[in-house]
Amino acid sequence: MNPALSAAAVLPLLGWSVHATALRHRLARARRDALTALPTREVFTARAARLLRERPALVVLIDLDRFKPLNDTHGHAAGDAALRAVAQRLATWAQHGAAARIGGDEFAAILPTPADPDRELAALHQALTAPIPYATEALSVGASIGGHLTAPSTTLPDALAAADAAMYQAKTLGGGWLLAPADPDASWSAPRRWKRNRPTPGTAPADTHHGRSEHPA
């Protein structure tokens, strides 16, 4: 075969290979949050729904506390660093499930078949609120976490709604974590587990907002 003709035949294939690789990279980036590299809401929803069809799971919603003061005091670069650190810690906690940044300083996660939901939520809260190294400082944020342990018949929207209600209740109580009652009609009054898991007295109060972002996505 003429070497020139052979090279001419190979060049289009090389060009397509490079294009296909670039396309795969663009698609991968589109499925990840640009700041935290966590999966997008759509990717998380699909994976969480699939996990719920297979087994019970702990569905979690998280809203950071005192994030706006941190952002205002230290600047957006520090705020971004805090969000990335929180995302990395959440991804580690949910490594056998899925995690996502759903907007601003709000996150979601699912953990399949947790042996001890209370212990898992306590460990998650401790991890997310640990000091975050930044330049010569240690940044501090709080977290309000709501969790719901699903039953075989629980749908993802129902699980997220229960976790959201628990998160909002935790936030109104000053931060920390709260596991939603298995019975949706159960009372929220004086939750026993809250008394031993709320933040240490004397810490700054949590932000009281809910359902809005303090930092642009």
Residues annotated as catalytic are: 105
Contact partners, residue 122, CB within 8 Å, separation at least 6:
177, 197
Q: Which of 115, 120, 63 is nearest to 94 (CA)?
A: 120
Angle at 33 between CA 126 and CA 44, to 5 degrees: 75
* Tokens 């698609």, residue located: 27
| H helical segments located in the chain | 3-30, 41-54, 67-74, 76-93, 117-128, 156-172
The number of CA neighbours under 13 Å toward the Cβ of 186 is: 12
